[in-house]
Chains A and B, each alone.
Chain A
Amino acid sequence: MFTFPSPPPNPPLTHEEILRYSRHLLIPEVGLDGQRKLKGSSALVIGTGGLGSPVALYLAAAGVGHIGLVDFDVVDSSNLQRQVIHGTERIGQLKVESARQRLLDLNPDIEVTAFNEPFTSENAMRIAGDFDVIIDGTDNFPTRYLTNDVCVLLGKPNVYGSIFRFDGQASVFYAKEGPCYRCLFPEPPPPGLVPSCAEGGVLGVLPGTIGTIQATEALKLLLGIGDTLLGKLLLYNALDMSFEFVKLKKNPNCRICGPNPTVTGLIDYEEFCGVPGHGQDIGSAGAGWDITAPDLAQRLQQNHVRLIDVREPHELQISALPGAENIPLGQLAGRLSELDSAQEMVLFCKTGSRSSRALELLLGAGFRKVKNLQGGINAWAREIDPSLPIY
């Protein structure tokens, strides 16, 4: 069972708090002692997006005394389909500030610390050091490996959740007593293989399901009750409404929590995952293979360029470029015979990320007269044709 360093005795509850937490105090597994434990405990929520929203809301409502929030983004209208901690009036505000205000409205008796910065190898140990449990609500591989390694090195439990379209995963990683994230995923997938939610989409309620499971596990850890997901991975599929569990064991060859670790401090996680760092341009194929939207507009007026749209067919209903042919990225490798390497081609998708991978595939197949529309059809909508929606 977990034991946390929150020094006994835990703080007493005021009369107002006793009324507020009345429904917890009635449960014998929580009771007055448990509620005081929560008041004396702390949780760090990394990411205030789809997962971080329900996690932070429920931990605040439950009376976890100190909640830390890490994010560096601002609220965007495309967040609000799932990031329920924010609101329309908060568009353009810092996410951590928007979330902090909402949490303090829900529960003014707790302390909320907002870290308006990306979680990096430079600040992670300092930020995480003060908290009892760490909740991984991040949206990218580098930060997930970083979160894991920080938790292993600091000896803290990592409440993991991850989502894609209709699929969700959740677990508790805690190297002192079981496996860590690297035991299950020793290596990240090659960049671009797994689409992000921004590229692949996500059912808005899915992070609600997975985030509330993470909040449940965090509360159980802080209270020291029940059986957690330590040593188990939950696999949820919203379409099938299936919950499956697989067993996880400590990997004896784990590079950070095995008996002979090779990772003994934080590393460069962007390099480890082969992806660009925070704030760097995505949707670019790099090394002269990009074309900007204005350059493409000019080129189209001068001579014939074959436009290949590598998005999924259902995305063409949202926006489309006249004359473009649709070959979804997943089909491209099997349809190379439809393309002519002597002809000039420009590939595009929503943001330039999938078309960059399509471009790599074509370069690998010997094509050279091919470019990637930097920023995708969204850049075209922004810079050339405002009649198209941005999504």
Chain B
Amino acid sequence: MTTLRIPTPLRPYTEGQGELQVSAPTVGEAMRELVSRYPALRPHLFTEQDDLRSFVNLFVNDEDIRRLDGAGTPLSDGDRLMIIPSIAGG
């Protein structure tokens, strides 16, 4: 199982859940499982062409998936997948 961390701005779409357990072989699959559980999240994370949106930052443990294998980055048991939001408040 992978722990998926949902940032505050997206929690209104996950019934307030901040952490979820997902079982998926890759980052892309984990994100698909997430949006199938919470369809209202889909437009925030995926384009209409079903690609991950470019402003969505995903980190596995402490590494940016753009420096790993992108959506194909494999997940192992106990990994932590974080969605890091753009926030601008000051």
Contacts and interface: CB of A to CB of B under 8 A. Distances in A.
Interface string A292-330: 000000000000000000001000000000000000101
B50 to A, nearest CB: 17
Contacts of B90: 47, 49-52, 136-139, 161-163, 197, 207
A195 B59 CA distance: 22
A184 B88 contact: no
Contact of B55 (A162, A187, A246, A334): A187
Interface in A308-360: 312, 328, 330-331, 333-334
Nearest to B67: A249
B78 interface: no
A202 interface: yes
B54 interface: yes
Contact of A246 (B62, B86, B89): B62
Interface residues of A, number: 51
Given A165-B8, A328-B12, A247 B85 contact: no
Interface residues on B, range: 20 to 34
A209 to B, nearest CB: 13
Given A164-B9, A188-B55, A246-B82, A169 B87 contact: yes
Contact of B64 (A167, A200, A247): A247
A194 B13 contact: no
B87 A163 contact: yes
Given A51-B90, A139-B89, A235 B40 contact: no
A248 interface: yes
B34 interface: no
A47 B59 CA distance: 30
Contacts of B84: 169, 233, 235, 246
Nearest to B88: A141
A379 B87 CA distance: 27
A141 to B, nearest CB: 5
Interface in B67-90: 67, 82, 84-90
Contact of B63 (A50, A166, A246): A246
A185 B57 CA distance: 8
A247 B60 CA distance: 10
Given A186-B54, A187-B54, A162 B8 contact: no
B55 A185 contact: yes
A115 B14 CA distance: 42
Contacts of A246: 59, 62-64, 82, 84
A189 B86 contact: yes
B64 A194 contact: no
B16 to A, nearest CB: 10
Most buried by B among A162, A189, A207: A189
Interface string B4-40: 0001110011000010000000000000000000011
A247 B62 contact: yes
Given A164-B8, A249-B67, A189 B62 contact: no
A167 B9 CA distance: 9
Contacts of B57: 184-185
Given A187-B55, A334-B39, A162 B12 contact: no
A137 B18 CA distance: 26
Given A184-B57, A186-B54, A186-B55, A330 B87 contact: no
A138 B90 CA distance: 5
Nearest to B43: A333
B40 A166 contact: no
A248 B63 CA distance: 8
A51 B82 CA distance: 25
6 contacts: A163-B89, A163-B90, A185-B55, A185-B57, A186-B55, A246-B64
8 closest A-B pairs by CB: A330-B12, A139-B90, A197-B89, A164-B87, A163-B89, A246-B62, A167-B8, A51-B90
Interface of B: 7-9, 12-13, 18, 39-40, 43-44, 54-55, 57, 59, 62-64, 66-67, 82, 84-90
